[in-house]
Amino acid sequence: MSAGYVGNHFVHEFNGRDLDAAPLYGIEPSYGGVQYGGGAYQFQGYLDSHYNSLQVTVNHRSTRGLFVQAAYTYSRAMGYVSDDTWENGLEFNCTPSSAMPRGCQPLNYGPLSFDHTQNFKLAFVYDLPFGAGKKFSSSRGANAIIGGWKLNGVFSAFTGDPLELSQSTVNPQFATYDTPQVPNHVAAVQYLGGGNNSLGYPQWFNPSAFVPNNSPTSIGNIGRTESWLRGPGLWQFDPSLARTFRLTERFNLEVRVEAENVFNKPHFNDPGTSCTNDNGACGGTFGEVTGSYGERVVQLGAFLRF
């Protein structure tokens, strides 16, 4: 068993700063009296990010033909953008002012899109105890059929990624170019686990935890991403069973049966994150799961090796 800390600090992260951004509640910049609507970027390495993690691994090999390897990571990846960006990767772009000396930049800092707080992997290889010389032996003919098989498997599980919320309408008096408004968080988020709502759609979280932001002077009370609002995680088990038959001194036949997500566990896509104003509530597909992936796949294979 081993345990350790792994981390990094990335400095001078590249991003195209939007030169058309205005102070909060300001107006779009004009050039010679002509309003300009975006596309002017100054590329600079002015952002940074942090990754911190606890990583634990366990390896065990028994005398009965079993090898097990497990790994667990508890981590947090924090930053302003999820990668080096072309043009501009910031969501909020208001420039510094007396009210906000750093502008909107701090509102962009949060968990990155690839941040999965907990990640667990378990892999094993097991020489099944059947056949000649094993715990469960039978006749020579039976041993020739049931002996020599190996069972392998990989179990994977991780928690969901942070969700980035938005809203479909902006108060027309909120005149800060390239800085959108976001919904207001007004109640505790309840994770419903994909249970169906009144319309029969899988609901990941209660949309009533948020309301549309109609203020002419407020971005909203949440940042780009929040550590407490996550999409669906997943777990799945991928086993395989294989054996090599020796046909001659030169030829071997390997037979395999493999499965991905053998239990056919649903893997939900992230829910809808755009709040549509429905009589003062967040409607539309907000909080709803509209897709899934990772259905069970089983395949058989045979390989002739010489």
Buried b (16+ CB within 10 A) or exposed e, 22-61: bbbbeeeeeeeeeeeeeeebeeeeebebebebeeeeeeee
Question: Which residues make Cβ contacts (< 8 Å) with residue 29, sequence separation at least 6?
Answer: 20, 22, 35, 36, 177
**pLDDT, tens digit, for every residue of 142-184?**
667 777 789 999 999 999 999 999 999 888 888 787 889 999 9
Residue 15 tokens, joined:
């991003």
pLDDT band at 71 (very low <50, low <70, confident <90, very high): very high
Q: What is the DSSP string of 258-279?
A: EEESTT---EEPPPB-EEEEET
pLDDT of residue 246: 82
CA distance 300 to 241: 10
pLDDT band at 31 (very low <50, low <70, confident <90, very high): very low
Average pLDDT over residues 207-222: 92
pLDDT of residue 32: 47
CA 30 from chain centre, in angstroms, equals: 40
Question: Which residues make Cβ contacts (< 8 Å) with residue 139, sequence separation at least 6?
Answer: none
pLDDT of residue 194: 66
**pLDDT, tens digit, for every residue of 6-15?**
999 999 999 9
**Long-range contacts (CB closer than 8 Å, 24 or more residues apart) made by 60-65:** 64/129, 64/135, 65/126, 65/127, 65/128, 65/129
Question: Which residues make Cβ contacts (< 8 Å) with residue 110, sequence separation at least 6?
Answer: 78, 162, 223, 224, 225, 226, 227
**Looking at per-residue confidence, does 129 or 89 come out higher?**
89
Per 3-state DSSP, the chain is made up of helix, strand and coil in percentages (nearest 5) of 5, 45, 50
pLDDT greater than 90 at residue 281: yes
Q: What is the DSSP string of 83-128?
A: S--SS---S--PBP-SS-TTTTGGGG-EE-TT--SEEEEEEEEEE-
Buried b (16+ CB within 10 A) or exposed e, 96-134: eeeeeeebbbebbbbbbbebbbebbebebebbbebbeeb
SS3 237: strand
Annotated domain spans of the chain: 2-305
**Looking at per-residue confidence, does 19 or 296 come out higher?**
296
